[in-house]
Amino acid sequence: MKTTPSKIKVLIVDDSVLTLTILKSILEQSPDFNVVAMARNGREALSILETTDVDVISLDLHMPVMDGYEMTKILMAKRPKPILVTSISVQENKSTNIFKLLEAGAIDVFPKPEKGFEFGSVQALAYINKLRLISKVRVFKHRSPMNDNDEEKKQYGHEVKINPNSYLNQSQQSKSNLITNNPELVAIGGSTGAPEVFSTILSSLPKNYPLPILCVQHISEGFINSMIEWLDSKCKLKVKLAEQGEKIQKGYVYFPKDGYHMTLTSQSYINLTRQGDKVNGHMPSIDVLFESLHSHHSKQTIAIILTGMGKDGAYGINALARDGAITIAQDKSTSAVYGMPLEALKLGLIKFVMSPPEIADYLNCVTTEQTCG
């Protein structure tokens, strides 16, 4: 006798009665959702959550009494739940606020159409799919310290412990075990749960960091500019939108535009293109970036794959590893979604498994006279 799968229990939080009604109707057209409660502000939502169990929360940002940011901070400190920020606030003057919610613990963002959702529209279906995926994400109490060691470090890669207070005393032999080339650039790919990880890593690097950093983040269309502004405000490095034909420079962090793949030429010039299809369901794709580096820059690259769903980046980072790149996967205990790092590890060539603070420490020590290990 088959067991009927349990429905995904949803709490919708929005100050608009019309929006609540529309979102509820959209979700309940899908057989795997059950909207168990609705609230018009964060305080009301927190009160509901005292007695009602949910699997995922669809949360607006701007609300009276208690906005989405304050609610997220309180909830993630007490009773963490996966949160999808569903907001119209993608305008230039508001959208950086969205990333405060991600920093506080929300998992992802989804742009609410300015004219509202239409039943059966592409946006409505995308909202359903995004919420379905978010409901499966691991969440942490106001974000866990991101430094736990985990079993997969022993199973798939070298266990690495990098503590800024202790690695200075390690031997040069230990350093040689960690540094296997003379890196000239860093490449990082991330998806669900990764914006906060990018913040943790990039904000730990100094203004005069001697390597350029190329990044790809899977994120809903309309948010990448705001994510760049948010990261730039938190980092000593310059975080910017990549421009066609520009030569990468040390101390700069580059992200591609919405809907463009980013590659690097043999002479270290950025190439942005819409040509071809999405790769692994994404444009920009992490694999596209990594494979371009594999063609010309393998031995000079530190390649890092962060939390995220799917397998984008797994093939490319292993191709880089085969040709001598330093390769790092985020560890399971700090990954909101242990999809992309695990897929990369399964291919067998990831060198190190690290938490975000360990990755930041490693990136700092490989470019100095400090020892790592």
Query: CATH for 151-365?
Result: 3.40.50.180
Q: What is the pTM of this model?
A: 0.82
The terminus-to-terminus CA distance of the chain in angstroms comes to 54
Tokens standing for 3?
A: 């067991």
Q: Is 62 a catalytic residue?
A: no
Angle 224-234/96-104 helices, nearest 10 degrees?
A: 70
- Secondary structure class of 263 (helix, strand, coil): strand
* Number of residues that make up the chain: 373
221-237 tens-digit pLDDT: 878 988 999 999 999 99
Q: Are 157 and 178 in contact (CB under 8 A)?
A: no
Q: What residue spans in the chain does CATH classification 3.40.50.2300 cover?
A: 8-134
Question: Tokens 């299809």 sit at which residue?
Answer: 277
Angle 224-234/194-202 helices, nearest 10 degrees?
A: 30
Query: Among residues 199, 218, 292, 298, which one is catalytic?
Result: 218
Query: Among residues 60, 67, 312, 331, which one is catalytic?
Result: 312
Q: CA 81, CA 69: separation in Å to the nearest integer?
A: 14
What percentage of the chain has pLDDT greater than the value 70?
83
Cβ neighbors of 247 (< 8 A, separation 6 or more) are: 267, 268, 269, 270
Q: CA 357, CA 308: separation in Å to the nearest integer?
A: 18
197-221 tens-digit pLDDT: 999 999 999 999 999 999 999 988 8
Indicate the average pLDDT of the chain. 84
Does residue 89 carry a pLDDT above 80? no
Q: CA 75, CA 19: separation in Å to the nearest integer?
A: 22
331-357 tens-digit pLDDT: 999 998 899 999 999 998 899 999 999
Spatial CA neighbour of 57 closest among 72, 67, 70, 43 = 72
Helix (H) or strand (E) holding 250: none
Query: Among residues 191, 199, 285, 292, which one is catalytic?
Result: 191
Q: CA 337, CA 345: separation in Å to the nearest integer?
A: 14
Q: CA 309, CA 134: separation in Å to the nearest integer?
A: 10
Q: Is 218 a catalytic residue?
A: yes
Residue 146's pLDDT is 44
Q: CA 135, CA 55: separation in Å to the nearest integer?
A: 6
36-77 tens-digit pLDDT: 999 999 999 999 999 999 999 999 988 999 999 999 999 999
Grade residue 121 by pLDDT with cuts at 50, 70 and 90.
confident
**CATH architecture of the region 8-134:** 3-Layer(aba) Sandwich (3.40)
Q: Is 294 a catalytic residue?
A: no
Question: Tokens 């979700």 sit at which residue?
Answer: 27
Tokens standing for 233?
A: 């405000």
Question: Tokens 């057209």 sit at which residue?
Answer: 29
Q: What residue spans in the chain does CATH classification 3.40.50.180 cover?
A: 151-365
Rg (CA), the chain: 21
Does residue 94 carry a pLDDT above 70? no
